[in-house]
Amino acid sequence: MPTSLISLVSLCKEIESTRSRKKKVELLSSFLKRLDSSEIKPAVLFLLGRPVPESESRALHVGYSTIANALMVHQQHLPVEMNLTIHEFASMISKVADAKGGGSRKFRKDHLSGLLARLTEEEKEYVVRSLSGDMRIGANEGIMIEAIAHASSAPVEEIRMANMILGDLGLVAETALTRGRNAIKALGVNLFVPLKPMLAETARSTDEALKILGKAAFEFKFDGVRVQIHKSGEVVRIFSRRLTELTSSLPDVVEMVLKSIPAQSVILEGEAIGFRDRPLPFQELMRRMMRCHQIDEMMKLVPVKLFLFDILFLEGRSLIDKPYVDRWRILQEIVPSELIAPRIVTDDREEARNFFERSLSEGHEGLV
C-alpha cells in the first residue's frame, strides 16, 4: 500500500519533539524499513530538506518569493483533494525541477499552488520547510546516515563512503535497503559524477593541532572557491563543494588543467582564488562566478590562480581509500609544483607558527 505524505509529516513531528539522537535514529530506521523501494529516496530527501539531490544538475529554482506567491494563490481556493502519497509528491516536485525556458517561472508557481491545494495545514508546513531547505527537525545528514546504516545492517562508514561517492543520500538509502551491503560496497568513483568533499575539523591554533595530532600536515587556507576537477582526455569539467557545475565560469582553469596535467583520467581537488599579484577579495571572485555572459572580460578583470591539494582518482583507479600521505605523493608526481598548495609536515611548534604567519603575510586566511 502506498505510503501517505501525512505519515511522513507525522514522522517529522515525532523526530522534532525528541532530543535523543538514538531515538531519532530508531524512528528514521523503522520508517525507512516500512517504505516501498520507490518511496525511500524521496522520503530521505524530503526529511533532509533537499527535494532534488545535490549531485543532480536539475534544481527547483524555488525561492521565498515563488513559495509566497504559490501560498497566496492557494489561499484563494479551497483544497481540491487530500491524501497525497510520497510517490505523488515526488512526481510533482520532479515536474517543477524539470521546468525550463520561457514560462517556467509561471509553471513552477502554478504547479506549487496546485500542490499546496492538496495538502492539509500540517503537510503544508513541512512541505514549505523542505522546499526552502530549512527543515529544522533535528534529522541532519549524520543522523540520517546512522539511520540508513541501522535499517540496512551496514556499517556507518560504508554508508558515509557511499554518500561521498554518489552525492545523493536518497539513492544511497534506496540502494542499501533494496540491494544490500554488497551493492553499497561495490559502488565506485565515476568520472564527471562529483564526489562530496572531505571536510576538516577546526582547531584554535597550530599548537592545538599539534597537541591533538602530534605530527601534522599544514596547508595554506585560501579565500576562494573549492573546486573538484574531473578530466578525461581533452574533456574537463569542474564542480563546486555543493556539487554544482562551474566549468563555464572557469575556462582559464580548464586551460590550466589541459596544459599542465598529463594524466588521461583524473579527479583533483583544490581551490580557485582571484589573484592579481596578491589574492583578491572573495567578493570580486564571486562577482566573476555569477556572470553568465562576457566571461572573457571577467577573466581579465578577475584572473584566477589554482591551488590543488588532493587527488581522488587516477587512470581508472579510485584513490579515496588510500592514506592521505600516499595521495599527496601521487599528487606531487603528476601536478606541477606551481599548482600545488603550499604545505609542510611538522611536529615543531615554531615551524608551524612561522608557516601560519607566512600564509597571512601572503594574503591568505591561515592554515588547514
Catalytic residues: 221
* Alpha-carbon torsion, ordered 242, 244, 249, 251, to 10 deg: 100
DSSP 191-258: TTSPPPPP-PPP-SSHHHHHHHHSSEEEEEEPSSEEEEEEEETTEEEEEETTS-B-GGG-HHHHHHHH
CA atoms within 13 A on the CB side of 144: 24
* Alpha-carbon torsion, ordered 22, 24, 28, 31, to 10 deg: 100
Q: For residue 121, give the nearest of 82, 166, 170, 88 by alpha carbon.
A: 82
What are the grid coordinates assigned to 339, written together?
599548482
d(CA 267, CA 53): 21
CA atoms within 13 A on the CB side of 81: 9
Tell me, what DSSP letter sits at residue 272?
E
Looking up cell 523526530 gives: 15
User: Are the C-beta atoms of residues 12 and 49 closer than 8 Å to each other?
Assistant: no
Q: In the beta sheet, which residues pair with residue 344? A: 218
Q: For residue 195, give the nearest of 291, 364, 312, 102 by alpha carbon.
A: 312
User: Are the C-beta atoms of residues 345 and 324 closer than 8 Å to each other?
Assistant: no
Tell me, what DSSP letter sits at residue 17?
T
Sequence-distant (≥ 6) Cβ neighbours of residue 221 within 8 angstroms = 359, 364, 365, 366, 367, 368
